[in-house]
Amino acid sequence: MRITLTDAGKRFNREWIFRHLNYQFSLPDAYAITGPNGSGKSTLLQFVGGALMPSEGKISYSNARDIPPTAIFQYLSIAAPYLETVEEMTANEFFRFHQSFKPFLPGISIPQMLDIIGLSDAGDKQIRYYSSGMKQRVRLAQAFFCNTPVLLLDEPTTNLDAPGIALYHQLIKTYCSDRLVLVSSNDPQEYGFCNRVIEMEKIKKGQRMTNDS
């Protein structure tokens, strides 16, 4: 799986978040997108994931063949604290609903998923009654356990306690060795495993990004 940015730029109104970015993300590898709050980390992550269209340049996807941008959602999953869950559903119902349009990894059942993320006893409880940390565990599960080659993680340990952070590290270790992983974060404990780091401040200053960075 390859995601290629060619002279890519994104702006909102008159403000450019980044411009003239040339970079290739390849599987399997792990990339961190770092920078101060408001520097555009989440924007770049969503841009790579096809949620935002280029203001200039282009982004292309390939996986043995070219993939239309409108179809890239089939190949990626995302976990972010701002993504909504269906709070009227229980976790069991939510995962079954999610599985109906994006399959989970082979050999892992929903009860096993709930056990891995420590929510077996809360599987039949409506998500609206979950704590913020429990909701974040659900978001991580729907991303990590999706059968997709690309995993996007935006501040993935938000609202997690120490056991939740340990769970995150275990999910990375167990389920990411053969994937393309992008992490948007300021926290080294979230992206310390990444082989490559993209600094938004350098991009904003016009410094050239290379895949050797």
pLDDT number for residue 13: 92
pLDDT number for residue 208: 64
pLDDT number for residue 142: 96
Single-letter amino acid, residue 2: R
- Distance CA(150)–CA(3), nearest Å, equals 10
- Domains held by the chain: number: 1
Give the burial string for 60-85 (b: 16+ CB within 10 Å, else e): bbeeeeebeeeebeebbbbbbeeeeb
Sequence length of the chain is: 213
Query: Which residues lie below 8 Å from residue 124, measured CB to CB, with a gap of 6+?
Result: 90, 91, 92
In a domain, 209, yes or no: no
Per residue of the chain (213 residues), give pLDDT as tens: 999 999 999 999 999 999 999 999 999 999 999 999 999 999 999 999 999 999 999 999 998 889 998 899 999 999 999 999 999 999 999 999 999 999 999 999 999 999 999 999 999 999 999 999 999 999 999 999 999 999 999 999 999 999 999 999 999 999 999 999 999 999 999 999 999 999 999 887 766 665 654
CATH number at residue 164: 3.40.50.300
Q: Rounded to an integer, what is the distance from CA 86 to the centroid of its chain?
A: 19
In a domain, 42, yes or no: yes
CA distance readout (Å), 46 to 51, 87, 97, 133, 192: 5, 23, 23, 23, 21
In a domain, 212, yes or no: no
pLDDT number for residue 207: 65
Contact yes or no for 126/167 (Cβ under 8 A): no
Contact yes or no for 33/200 (Cβ under 8 A): yes
In a domain, 111, yes or no: yes
Q: Rounded to an integer, what is the distance from CA 76 to the centroid of its chain?
A: 8
pLDDT number for residue 64: 80
In a domain, 49, yes or no: yes
State the sign of the Cα–Cα–Cα–Cα dihedral 204, 207, 210, 213.
Answer: negative
pLDDT number for residue 106: 95
In a domain, 31, yes or no: yes
If you ran DSSP here, which 8-state letter would residue 105 be given?
A: P
Range of the domain at 56: 2-204
